[in-house]
Amino acid sequence: MNRFYLYSIVMAAILMCTSCEKISTTQNDVCNLDNKVIPLSRESKEASYLLTIKTGHSITDCGGSCISINGKPYHVNCMGEGHVCLNSAAVTIDQNGSAITATTMDTLDLTSEDFFLMPDRSLDYVDEKGSHIFLNIPEQMVYRDTATLQFTFTGLFFSETAAYSNN
């Protein structure tokens, strides 16, 4: 899928949602992009989805030492616990037996860093049958693959209720 097509879908969703202020609560649920799974393509051999995830906190919330890199404390914006930033990433979701993974499709969707501190999140998803379920991603530090430069999230699972509080 080319980058222009992906960004066009995201921008269309955002533009449609700017008009949500004057519509009903039920319709407004569609416009809330916090912690969602949005199908981009289910028709190809490799289905693709847009994950929208609220992450991150203020540097004052962790005293500038949220993570340790080479033994030194750091704070990186828009990563880890919190809900300050709305991140999005186009991913492919693969299932091999009971193991479910999600791999980013674009190298810069989440961050330009070589790592991403993913907080545990339960993402709302409406499946092919119209049922509301959750894609749950456990907290993890993911690193770019050195060949593809993509991130791969592991340990994902689906459930009927949210497994995480998304704090």
The secondary structure of 6-25 as a DSSP string is HHHHHHHHHHHHTTGGGS-H
Query: In this structure, is residue 167 part of a structural domain?
Result: no
Predicted confidence (pLDDT) at residue 12 exceeds the cutoff of 50: no
pLDDT tens readout for residues 14-23: 444 443 444 3
Predicted confidence (pLDDT) at residue 161 exceeds the cutoff of 90: yes
* Range in 3-7, 92-96, 117-121 the model is least confident about: 3-7
Q: What is the mean pLDDT of residues 96-100?
A: 93
**Domain total of the chain:** 1
3-class SS of residue 56: coil
Helices (H), 18-153: 25-31, 59-62
Query: In this structure, is residue 47 part of a structural domain?
Result: yes
Q: What is the mean pLDDT of residues 65-74?
A: 80
Predicted confidence (pLDDT) at residue 51 exceeds the cutoff of 90: yes
Please, are residues 79 and 116 in contact by the beta-carbon 8 Å criterion? yes
What pLDDT was estimated at residue 122?
Answer: 97
Predicted confidence (pLDDT) at residue 91 exceeds the cutoff of 90: yes
Its pTM stands at 0.77
Query: In this structure, is residue 71 part of a structural domain?
Result: yes
Query: In this structure, is residue 164 part of a structural domain?
Result: no
Query: In this structure, is residue 91 part of a structural domain?
Result: yes
Query: In this structure, is residue 138 part of a structural domain?
Result: yes
Please report, for residues 28, 49, 94, 115, 157, the alpha-carbon distance to residue 45 in angstroms, rounded to integers and kept in the order given.
Answer: 32, 13, 11, 28, 21
Query: In this structure, is residue 165 part of a structural domain?
Result: no
Backbone angles phi, psi at 9, to 5 degrees: -65, -45
Domain that holds residue 57: 3-159
Query: In this structure, is residue 104 part of a structural domain?
Result: yes
